[in-house]
Structure formats: structure tokens, C-alpha cells
Structure 1
């Protein structure tokens, strides 16, 4: 009956669906078009299989493991890394996040919960100072925190962020390794996502998906890590998979930190690269930009062609003319012709150049390029002005773009602090207590441990387009009671208000001690009484 039945199964399925819909009835009435007509057989136009715009869009439903399988994830990671290396817009997006989210590093300031610990504010301030000094000893020295003894903690923050964005996720193991001259033994070892996988590249199991082993509730139990990169064999070093426990068996202490770029579905075990949704338009935009650039370069070349007539064959020209001619022109060694900047090319007898005007630079290139970058920026939550660092509009529009971008930066900063910074700091405090370097009564109690480990992470300041307007607005917010000096100081300078205040007090006292206190506006500090004027 249907001639395409054996050749096109999808077409047969659509035809059978159309026949079923045509014959179906609800309460004795045949189904009619919903939502204002247009031949839609469903109440939701997005669920229609009859509309021409929707007929070929029939995705399947699958689990997080099936919808994000190992083969697709590896291809996304490979393309994301290539885009990071070679695509200008892709690299701009990643580096923009690294600079604004981490910058010079998220600085930790201890904020113990003195109410839960039964401490006064003065005692809490003293304890915060001691905890901060311990953290500085660890975070500032690459040999203390980095397993490779190369980067300090603030540089590791940037590397963790970039690795998770490009690779989808990154593991941070915490081996205990003593080193001569070091105070602590807790090291942070970064493991790229390529090395995490099922042992011997085996199939997924009910409790093992792409190298992540989990329990009945879905909580991670262990991670399977290859000693090298799969597919890269080194002489004398066979590849084996090691099982790294996620938590300590007796203490429950974190042993592996799993930093994901994004987790979009419950039950998802591995993260997707940050650039995954925009890889296709990025590739097309890069090819288009390269083609336009090459066309502009070619059109900018000015080449003079010398056409030789038949008199060169008959030898009627004097020998001086032939001897004065510069041999070679812009010919290559194999006799082929090429364009060049101001080149002079000799053509053979009967050869005539044909000039094709490429019409470059293209006047429509910039509007089209900007439109595509806007779509890419919307998907990446980065306004076009922030992505390209091109603030050509008004002050209000530029500030709105910067504020919108900083909402996204603040979210990523909080996510990095939760997944990497705070857990690594808690590991350090655990070791400091175990070594007796600091006395924290009741630290074994989980509730008191959380109270001792509380801290805030302060990153680089947001900056301002007009600092005077921003400062006046900050003062007004403090004046009307909707903000405080701690929040405004952290937002404008990136430093804690307590540190700024103490330093300011020392500066004022030093000025007064040396009679350098600036005079108030309008005159002397203690102006003399005015002399009464005579009538």
C-alpha cells in the first residue's frame, strides 16, 4: 500500500501517526485543530508531530547517563579544548571568567560562629586571626598546598576553574605527603577529566558510571582514576586504574573533591563543558571570520602584471631593454605565480591577468558578527559588551551589562568557594588540630567543627565605570540603612572592612603624632576668636 514502507521507516511512522490521529475521537467527536488552527492536532503546539516545523524534531527521552554518554562527553571535551586553544571568542569567554571570578585569588577570612562556640566577640576576633595566619602559611607556599609544588592556592583556584569549564569537571585528590621544610602534609593534586573512567574502559554498571562509583542513594563512594591518559602508552609504565575513596572510612573526611562545571539533572555524575551548547555556532563563526580576514588580505594586495607581446619572440626590442628587466618578479621557485604586497609579476606571451574584485572589507561583517556573538553571549550568560570588552553605548547601558555579568561571576565565585576553596581549608584545619598547632575545644563534634570552619571568601572588587558615582551611591546606601560598611568595602575594594578600618586608625594616629593631621574644610583647626570691628 505504501511504496516507501521498506525504504523509509520514519516516513511510515509519521504516516501511521497521521492516520491514527485522523481516526481517533474523544467523547465521540473527532480531534480538531487546537490553539487557533494551523493544522495542530495537539493542545500544545510544541508537542505537534504534524507541523512541518516540528515533524522532524522528535528527540528521545533518556536517563542522564544515556543522554550524556561517554562518547559524546569525550568529543565535547576535545572540541572545547580545541576552541580554547584556537577560537578567539571561546578563549575570550573562558579567560573573562578566570579574570573576574578568581583574578588574583579568593582570599579567606575566618568568621567563626562565636555564639555557637560560647565565645565573646573579642575572643572570636583573636581566634579568627590565628586561623587566618595558619591558612596563609599553607595557601601562600606552592610546596605546602600543591602536589606538584608549582602553584599556590590562589593559582590553583584559577586552574581548577578553567579545567572544570573546559573539561566539564576536575578531580582534586588530597594525598598525605611529607616534604622537608614544609609545615603541613596535605597536598592538593588536580586530576583531569580524561583520566577518570571505568577500569580498563569497561561498560557502565548499576553503581558505576564513567568512573564514578556511588551507593544506593546516588552519593559518590569512590572514583576510578587511570595512572596515565587512556590511549597514551609510555615505555615501561603500563596503564592501571586506581580506586580513590571519596570519604574517609572512619572519619568521613573528604579525600577527593569533585568540581563540576554544571549539574543540570538529578543523577548526573559527570559535568558538561561550559562551551558545549555553543560549539557549533563558535566553529561556524570562526570559519566565517577567518574567510573574511583572508579575503580582506587578498583584496589589499596590489600587484602589477607585465604582459609580454609577440615582439619578445621576434627579438625586435633592443638588448638593453631586455637586460634592464628585473628577472623573476614574484614567481616562485617552481614557476607558479603568487600575489604580494607591491609585487611585479611577469606574464608569458598570451597570458592576461583577470582581476576579481572580492568587495572586501565586507560592510555587513560587523553587524552579522555582533548578532551571532550576542546569541553566544546570551547562552553563556555574558553580555556582548562584557564578552568583547567593547563598551560603546551609554553609561547606563554599559553599567547594566557589567552588573548582569557580575551576577554570573558572583554565582561562579560562590560555586568555586563551595566545591574547592572551603573544603580544602577544612582539610587544613583538620590537620592543624591533629598536629596540635591550634587548640579548638570540642572540634570532634561535627556541629562545633562547622562553627570553627566558617569563613568568607573575598575576591577581586567589581570595579566601577564612574568611581565617584559609585562611592556616592555606597554612602547613600549606608546612610539610609540598606547596606553597611562591611558589604560596601568588600564590593568596592575587595578587602574586609575590619582590616581597612584598623589600618585607617593607625594612619590617623600616626598623622596626629607627627602634626600632619589634615585641616578641616574652611580654615584652621582651632581658629582664633574674631576681633570686634570698630564702628
Structure 2
């Protein structure tokens, strides 16, 4: 083959081989003598066939491959037990019943008193509650509250790689606001009419020379589905308002792992292959166990029966449609539960034992599930909801999983919750419902829209130990009551304090106040037991 007809990979491999032959064998050290890193060797047998390509984020996650990953991830979410467990586990722990918004106005940056800041916080929280708790206010489809939209957006982003949120202005009778949130699945954001990507357009996202998104092309339907009523159209939506610079289209990511990446990969993408094989293995073992639960019998035909050595089925059917050698008066031979079959002359029962259930199924399934959980950052105990180890191991699994849950929660807040809150406050100020002096100044606007989003608490295996540990952290000064209250109950400390204060004052007013509060020392201590190994 001529040199100019060879592929770049063949040229590189031949150049590497020539370099090996020209160098002493000792150079490079212990293995790939043409390189100083074994992982970069093209000569070692274990590495010779591993020749990946270098590409941009768009090439490494091409349109065709991404669509395949999305389709398979959705199918795994629907039909694979382990795949669905991983996705819903994130939804339950990251969002749960919804992330609650607690406004935290930066009163120092605004030059106001702390009391005035608390008054504004209460006012903004009330406005947000009117918007987030009513599906007709926040949802363009008028079917879900903001807390439900959080869970839907998270699942859609996990299975599709990303999900887009448009913010149309829709007036409705009986509502206070017109800013709506409309979730757009990843399939509907694509190039118009299936056009190929360009230098500034990748899978429906149009960006400027700096890489910032400028427009998003949203299809009126799903491109892979035929619409008989009217043809598909594409709407070119601005990501940022032309006059105000406000965010008008949100992109909720599953993961963004590379600079310049425009579209995301599904959460289950790295584990789809082992997940599919494990599901098939599990289904096969389950079916084998079902079959082995029945009394399986094979009928052995005598070689002298019917004057030949072939099985009866080889002779076909007679004129009446019955198998050769079988009387039409006899019922068909079938397996039954506790059935007794009268065998014909020349037939002998042979029992087959498939040896199920397989004793090696659980260890192998667990080993593969551990690898899948490690790739998804979910420990096996948390993934399977099976805590059969010691207290320390189970607690370590929960803590490690919650590191990932909190990271996912932070991404969801940055991509969806906080931007939608800021859009609502913008409209509330524009409508005159809330008066915030100097709100037009970007610095003051950020000071007014600072928030804390509180989600479901992580819970505890032993609540007494967790409560004592929280009290000790507060006592030695490494934590605060606000942090511990949010971590243990998911509630704001100020609300807990105000409610507790009302309860104590009501007890005193009713004459029910105890002479002395029960001390912590009066709580009977549990007998100390050796920790399980």
C-alpha cells in the first residue's frame, strides 16, 4: 500500500514501530520501550488495540451517538430494575417533596438594617409561595407546582442528558403573574429540518464566538414522530433578553464535563452495557428458577417403536393432522402441576433437573452492581436499599451518597431553581407588587435575590447519636444551629425558633410550663455495645 493511501493511524503506528527499532531496548523502561508511559504505548499487546481518537466535545458526543444513549437510557429507566433504582434514588433524595426557597437578603450590601432585611425576606418568601405553589402560576401546562417541576426536570435531565426550560409570558384569568415555566425535552431542541451542525450551531444551540449560547431552536413537536395535522416548525428563542439581558431559556444539565460542551450525556450512559447484560442475566436466572419449580419430564421413545429409530416428530402428521405414532384419542402431552400422564407403549419418562436457583447468582450480581454503583457514585447499600453491614459501614455509605446528592442538588439550584426565582422577583418588582429600592442596579439586584434552598434532610440511622453529635459541634464552635437544623430537619432555624417561641409562650399563658426543662443527663443512656464488624 502506498504511503499516501494509508490512514493517519497506520502512519502513526508505523512511525512508532520505526522509532522502537531505532532505540535501545532499555529506553522507556519495563514494557513500552517506545514511550516513557506504559499507558501511551502502541506496542504492548495489552495496549496495541486501544487507539481512541482525540476530538472536540461535539465530536466525542455526536448527534447520532447521543440520541442512541438517550433512547437506551429511557428504556433502562422504564424496564431495567437497577437503572430505574439509580434514577429514582436521585429524584427522591435530591428533590424529594421539593427544594424550599428561603430568601436571604444581603442587608449589609444594601445598607439597611437587619430588621428591614428580615421584613423583605418575609415579603419575598410570600410572593414566591404564591407563585411556586400554584400550577396555574408557574407551569405553562398548568399541571405541576414548582416543587413538582423540580423532580420532573431532574429526571428528564438524567435520562436525556439535559432539559431546557423556556419562560413564555402567558396571561391567565385569575392569576397574579404571567411568567411561566415550560419544560422542553432534549429531543425537541435540534437543528431545523435536520440540518448538520455548523461552527456556531450544535444540536439546536446557537452560540457566539466566545461560546456563549445566543439562540435555542425548539421544534414544535418531536422530530422522530410524524405529525399528520400540520408540519413541524422550529422556533428560534433568545437565551438572554435583547433589551434587559434577563435569562429567558434555561438549560438544566445532567453533567457538563468539558469546556465548550453544548449538550449533555445521560446519567446512565457509562453503565448501559453492563446494565443491559446484568438485566438479561437476572431475567434468565429468574426464568430458570420458575421452570425448575415445575416437575420437568422428557419422554424417551423406544427405538423399536413404530418400526424405526427416529423420533415420532420426524414423521410429521397423518391425514387427520395428528402426529405420526400418536393416537388421536390421547390428549396432548403437557407439563402440569401435580399431573399424572398415561404414557403410550414404548415411552419412558426421563426427569431433567436444571439445578436452579444458581448459588453463584447473588455474589456475581452483587459484584457487578458494586461496579455500576461506583460509576454512578451510589454505594451498593444505598443503590439496593439493603443495609446489612455494620452501623459504621452503613453510615459511611449514606454519607458518601449524600455528598453526591448535595452536589446534584446544587447543580439543580444553579440551573433551574435560582434563575426561575429571579425571574419571578423581576416580574413582581415590575408589576409593583414588591418595592425594592435600587433594584435596577445589577449589584443591588443580586443582593435582593440571594436565597438558600433547603431540601429533604438526609436522615439518620441512630437519631440520638446524630443529635448528640450536632449539639457537640455547636458547643465547640465548628457549626451553627442554622446549619444543624437544615441538615437534620430540612427546615430553617428562624422558623423553628419562632414556632418554638410561640409554643413556649402559649404554655406559659395556659399555666402548663414545667418547673424545669428536662436535662439531657436525665435521658437514660443506652448500654454500650461493641460495634459490629
Structure 1 and Structure 2 fold alike (TM over 0.5): yes
Q: Deviations over 1:153-207 (max 9, x none)?
A: 0000000000000000000000000111111111000000001111110011111
Offset of 1:351 from its aligned partner?
A: 3.3
> Does 1:77 pair with 2:70?
yes
Aligned to 1:122: 115
Offset of 1:42 from its aligned partner?
A: 1.2
Q: 1:198 to 1:509 in 2, by over 3 A?
A: same
The equivalences for 1:215-254 within 5 A come to: 215-254=208-247
1:478 to 466, 474, 477: 474
Aligned to 1:67: 60
In 1, the alpha carbon distance for the partners of 2:124 and 2:174 equals 21
In 1, the alpha carbon distance for the partners of 2:496 and 2:98 equals 19
> Does 1:34 pair with 2:28?
yes
* Corresponding residue SS for 2:260: coil
The equivalences for 1:153-302 within 5 A come to: 153-302=146-295
Aligned to 1:103: 96
Q: 1:347 to 1:81 in 2, by over 3 A?
A: farther
Q: Deviations over 1:365-391 (max 9, x none)?
A: 111111101100000000000000010
Aligned to 1:24: 22
2:376 to 371, 374, 380: 380
Q: 1:406 to 1:240 in 2, by over 3 A?
A: same
Q: How many equivalent residue pairs? A: 495
2:399 to 398, 403, 407: 403
1:468 to 464, 471, 480: 464
2:354 to 343, 354, 358: 358
Aligned to 2:335: 339
In 2, the alpha carbon distance for the partners of 1:336 and 1:81 equals 43
Q: 1:8 to 1:218 in 2, by over 3 A?
A: closer
More off after superposition, 348-357 vs 211-220: 348-357
In 2, the alpha carbon distance for the partners of 1:472 and 1:420 equals 36
Offset of 1:39 from its aligned partner?
A: 5.1
Aligned to 2:424: 428
| Contact 1:226–1:242 under 8 Å retained in 2 | yes
| Contact 2:133–2:146 under 8 Å retained in 1 | yes
Q: 1:44 to 1:146 in 2, by over 3 A?
A: same
Offset of 1:307 from its aligned partner?
A: 9.1
Aligned to 1:492: 488
More off after superposition, 299-308 vs 441-450: 299-308
Offset of 1:519 from its aligned partner?
A: 3.4
Structure 2 length normalisation: TM-score? 0.88
Q: 1:15 to 1:182 in 2, by over 3 A?
A: closer
* Corresponding residue SS for 1:354: strand
Offset of 1:305 from its aligned partner?
A: 8.0
| Contact 2:459–2:488 under 8 Å retained in 1 | yes
In 2, the alpha carbon distance for the partners of 1:416 and 1:435 equals 28
In 2, the alpha carbon distance for the partners of 1:188 and 1:158 equals 14
In 2, the alpha carbon distance for the partners of 1:200 and 1:53 equals 45
The equivalences for 1:144-155 within 5 A come to: 144-155=137-148
Offset of 1:435 from its aligned partner?
A: 0.5
* Corresponding residue SS for 1:232: coil
Gaps of 5+ in 2: 307-329, 520-533
| Contact 1:144–1:182 under 8 Å retained in 2 | yes
Q: 1:356 to 1:522 in 2, by over 3 A?
A: closer
> Does 1:139 pair with 2:135?
no
In 2, the alpha carbon distance for the partners of 1:395 and 1:133 equals 42
In 2, the alpha carbon distance for the partners of 1:398 and 1:420 equals 32
In 2, the alpha carbon distance for the partners of 1:517 and 1:186 equals 49
> Does 1:457 pair with 2:453?
yes
* Corresponding residue SS for 1:93: helix
* Corresponding residue SS for 1:109: strand
Offset of 1:358 from its aligned partner?
A: 1.7
> Does 1:86 pair with 2:82?
no
> Does 1:415 pair with 2:411?
yes
Structure 1 length normalisation: TM-score? 0.88
Give the root-mean-square deviation of aligned CA atoms: 2.6
In 1, the alpha carbon distance for the partners of 2:126 and 2:433 equals 11
Aligned to 2:499: 503
* Corresponding residue SS for 2:484: helix
| Contact 1:171–1:258 under 8 Å retained in 2 | yes
Q: Deviations over 1:38-89 (max 9, x none)?
A: 3543110000111111000001111111111100000000000000000000
In 1, the alpha carbon distance for the partners of 2:298 and 2:17 equals 69
In 1, the alpha carbon distance for the partners of 2:258 and 2:331 equals 62
| Contact 1:303–1:344 under 8 Å retained in 2 | no
| Contact 1:308–1:347 under 8 Å retained in 2 | no
| Contact 2:296–2:352 under 8 Å retained in 1 | no
In 2, the alpha carbon distance for the partners of 1:19 and 1:274 equals 40
| Contact 2:161–2:267 under 8 Å retained in 1 | yes
Offset of 1:343 from its aligned partner?
A: 3.6
Offset of 1:303 from its aligned partner?
A: 5.2
